[in-house]
Structure 1
């Protein structure tokens, strides 16, 4: 009898703990189109799209170098933003915080010994 009870309990435990097979993603509150500016040792503009997973992709334009660069990164569910503009070896790293529909932070390009700040908002 004791073995039957334990077997039934174990079966019920495993049957109920299987989880949900519906693998839906959690939508990021920051999902959407964003744009802004950066300033400091270089100046320019940036635009980015944030998807439901918090992946960031877009472009930036540098007035100092008169050129466009790709922007790739991520934003956490708490709004921590990090993106690389250009390449990891020759580009700038933008870090900061998104809050609601706006964000700001700092950027640094160690290879070019340049840095500054950035800000933006959700379009």
Structure 2
């Protein structure tokens, strides 16, 4: 009986201590935190400003040159620099942040282009 109880405890503890890949990728003090600015071009063009917060959350604003409008953009950067940012109208910026810059591609449905960000 005592052995069965110990085995049950070990099994339950094993399941309870599992951490998802997403959880393990989150950080407490992101190496990328700070203010970032950049531009994008292609089928649409404009500028972006965003802040990487200490836990890796990305919060900012995107400005579109053609329509002279702005929209919120939000995302998350992992400890290794991999990030994804999206707007409510499906603009997606993804790639890897380096210590002070990033270059990559953006998409929205059939639209696409490139971006360049710099840490301030």
Which category describes the TM-score, using the shorter chain as reference length?
0.7 to 0.9
TM-score (norm 1): 0.73
Q: Match of 2:38? A: 36
Q: Does 1:92 align with 2:91?
A: yes
Residue in structure 2 matched with residue 45 of structure 1 by the alignment: 47
Larger radius of gyration: 1
Q: Does 1:56 align with 2:58?
A: yes
Q: Deviations over 1:18-46 (max 9, x none)?
A: xxxxxxx6310100000000000001000
Partner of 2:112: 115
Post-superposition shift, 1:92? 0.5
- Could you state the TM-score of these two structures normalised by the residue count of structure 2? 0.75
Flag structure 2 segments of 5+ consecutive residues without an equivalent. Answer: 1-26
Deviations 1:53-75 (A, max 9, x none): 10000001001222001010010
Gapped regions of structure 1 (runs ≥ 5): 1-24
After superposing on structure 2, the runs of 4+ consecutive aligned residues of structure 1 that deviate more than 4 Å are: none
Query: Does 2:101 align with 1:102?
Result: yes
